Amino acid sequence: MHWRVVMLSVSAAIGAAMSGAQAQGSATVSDARLVAATDTFETWESQDSGQTRHRSSTWFFQTLVRLPGGAWQYRRAWLDSTGATTSVSTTIARTGDLAVRFDGVQARTDSAAVVFDDARATGWVVPGGESARLFDGPVEGPRPAADVAELAFASLRPVPGNRLVLPGYVLYGAGPLVLRVDTLTVLDDASLRSGGRAIPCLVIRHARGPTIWVEKASGRILARRGVVAGGRIVWWHVRRNIEPPT
């Protein structure tokens, strides 16, 4: 299978993949207007399918910075209620097509470090309470760094109906050698609130992941919502000073 068909060429068209094959022209990743930024997110959880929710004791901040040489580094650091760091994940994406070059986690209970080139992935994953799993094998072409590609897609200010097909992998699941294709679809207009002020947003849903709310004016992600345990547990990651979406 030709990679360009699967990913609608993220390198040539992260914007043309915005959809439906109806996009006018193609936008490269450099057109996505990615900017270095740091955001702090509070976390919420519901144990009854979202009927009630409570503030969790953990929070995280995410940073996106441009490294010397042009690569992007995305870093997410989780902290507990005392302010102690419990986990740090780091992804490095190549400039241009956002292909992942490194993906790693340092945490109290698990860790991982995988190096990628366009044809191979090499590294290890240690899930919590399990033995290390080693990887060294071929991959089907470059894979965009999912978190960075999500930010790039959001920064394009897409409109309802636009899509991005995103080939990737699950670090702690099947592993980095196994292809896992996701699709981001812009669903509708919405709004979130901050201090009584309504913020116009777009709602974007992962076919195999969370729903996200993107501020129209800035293209920055304001909230994410996902489900686990068959939908019984619902979680929210919400930028500080923003009210969680319903």
Q: What per-residue confidence (pLDDT) applies to 67?
A: 94
Q: What per-residue confidence (pLDDT) applies to 6?
A: 27
**Quick check: 25 pLDDT over 60?**
no
Q: What per-residue confidence (pLDDT) applies to 30?
A: 43
**Quick check: 209 pLDDT over 70?**
yes
| DSSP three-state, residue 13 | helix
**Quick check: 220 pLDDT over 80?**
yes
**Quick check: 106 pLDDT over 50?**
yes
Average of pLDDT values for 13-19?
A: 38
CB crowding 181-211: b at 16 or more within 10 Å, else e: ebbbbbeeebebeeeeeebebbbbebeebbb
Query: What pTM, to 2 d.p., does this model score?
Result: 0.84
**Quick check: 99 pLDDT over 60?**
yes
Query: How far apart, in whole angstroms, are the C-alpha atoms of residue 85 and residue 131?
Result: 23
Q: What per-residue confidence (pLDDT) applies to 38?
A: 95
CB crowding 53-74: b at 16 or more within 10 Å, else e: beeeeebbebebeeeeeebbbb
Q: What per-residue confidence (pLDDT) applies to 32?
A: 61
The per-residue pLDDT for range 45-76, each reduced to its tens digit, is: 998 877 788 999 999 999 999 999 889 999 99
Q: What per-residue confidence (pLDDT) applies to 95?
A: 87
Q: What per-residue confidence (pLDDT) applies to 224?
A: 96
- Contacts of residue 101, defined as CB under 8 A and 6 or more positions apart, other chains included, come to 71, 92, 93, 94, 115, 116, 117
Q: What per-residue confidence (pLDDT) applies to 186?
A: 92
The per-residue pLDDT for range 26-40, each reduced to its tens digit, is: 333 444 678 899 999
Long-range contacts of 211-215 (CB under 8 A, 24+ apart): 211/187, 212/150, 212/154, 213/245, 214/154
Comparing CA positions, the residue from 212, 220, 184 lying closest to residue 32 is: 220
**Quick check: 42 pLDDT over 60?**
yes
Do you know the residue count of the chain? 246
